Amino acid sequence: CKVMQCVTSLLACLCFRHRNRCLYRTPRVCCSICSDTKLKDPFSLAQKDLQNLYEDIKKQLLVSKAELKALCDYYFDGKGKAFRPMIVILMARACNVHSNKEGVLLPAQRSIAMISEMIHTASLVHDDVIDDSDTRRGKNTINQVWGERKAILAGDFILSAASMALARIGNTTVVSVLSQVIEDLVRGEFMQLGSKENENERFKHYLEKTFKKTASLIANSCKAVSILVNSDPEVHEIAYQYGRNVGIAFQLVDDILDFTSSAKRLGKPSAADLKLGLATGPVLFACQQFPELHAMIMRRFSSDGDVDRAWQYVLKSDGVEQTNYLAQHYCQEAIHQISRLRPSTERDALIQLTELVLRRDK
């Protein structure tokens, strides 16, 4: 199909571009992601550096007004996966080892891990207002508890605190790199409000939106910690491309789970994207087998019965399988990138992380 030709060409270009560029010669990574590799769990490996992360974030949000403090602290309850800070910590240590350091984490690198979680959480608060969401991480959203106006202000305040923490790092390049994340988040949200008539343009639009809303934060945070320890632009690009590819794969799997996982497991209603009028990967692939979806996509599933019919079309198609296949390709490119760094426990954990991304069920 035309969409798969477009996606395959994109992935082929990525692989060709980096095929012969390697900073450190390492054994070739097998095409499949091996599940029997005995590596230390990435979350356990980063756990020591992530201790007191949420308490440290709350210190950045120190305010005298009790209600604002409660709003800002609501999602920093220590029950999140800390997925983004974990990647940032592992990337920082992997880059430190690659740069002939002892792998000791720099205070500024840990600060970036903290800032990444603050930016991510602020974006969740704003997203919940835009989407009028009822639940997040298994509990009521901030906008449901305190109202939309206060939720928006809380998200803004978290972003401002993150910006101040970023400024204290004192590296103008790092400030510029992470400022790009906030711009991408806004542009991605605007992209989500629209759709493309042409099917190939529609898929390109979807992947670009996915990068801006999800992967940009991971990619630029990884790049930022590499900048702090290494002046080589190629190392910065490796960190960035790993984060970019893992970030896109993460969102593709998230879009799959919207069709395959129960609301209880996800901590949010299933079919949420369809109800918001969003055509994600599984729907776009399903459209190739069921052209009836095209009209539904253009009207953003707004007619009576659209959501249920679209759901059934996706389940009858190979949309979920094709989206999973695409996520695997992005993970393979992430492995290709990170394998160019000098071997280390953290580098290997980042490789293993790609498998965890593909296997996650919530």
pTM summary value: 0.88
Structure tokens belonging to residue 138: 């298994």
Structure tokens belonging to residue 134: 């009822």
For residue 48, the one-letter residue type is K
Reduce the DSSP state of residue 164 to 3 states and report it: helix
Task: Summarize the confidence of residues 25-49 as an average pLDDT.
Answer: 61
Domains of the chain: 1-359 (1.10.600.10)
d(CA 249, CA 257): 12
Distance set, CA 105 to CA 68, 120, 161, 342, 346 (Å): 32, 22, 23, 17, 12
For residue 40, the one-letter residue type is K
d(CA 1, CA 280): 17
- The pLDDT tens digits of the residues spanning 269-324 come to 577 899 999 999 999 999 999 999 999 999 999 999 999 999 999 999 999 999 99
Task: Summarize the confidence of residues 134-141 as an average pLDDT.
Answer: 86
Nearest CA among 242, 333, 343, 334 for reference residue 26 = 343
- The pLDDT tens digits of the residues spanning 82-137 come to 999 999 999 999 999 999 878 899 999 999 999 999 999 999 999 999 989 888 87
* Helix axes of 281-289 and 199-210: crossing angle, nearest 10 degrees: 160
Q: DSSP string covering 126-153, please?
A: HHHHHHT-SEETTEE-HHHHH-HHHHHH
Distance set, CA 286 to CA 24, 290, 323, 355 (Å): 41, 6, 10, 25
Could you tell me which residues come within 8 angstroms of residue 248 by beta carbon, excluding any fewer than 6 positions away? 207, 210, 211, 214, 215, 327, 330
Could you tell me which residues come within 8 angstroms of residue 211 by beta carbon, excluding any fewer than 6 positions away? 184, 188, 219, 244, 247, 248
Decide: 231 and 259 in contact? Cβ < 8 Å.
no
Bridge-based pairing of strands 135-136 and 139-140 is antiparallel
- The pLDDT tens digits of the residues spanning 246-271 come to 999 999 999 999 998 865 565 655 77
- The pLDDT tens digits of the residues spanning 176-230 come to 999 999 999 999 999 988 777 777 789 999 999 999 999 999 999 999 999 999 9
The alpha carbon of 107 is separated from its chain's Cα centroid by a whole number of angstroms, namely 23
Question: What's residue 303's pLDDT?
Answer: 94
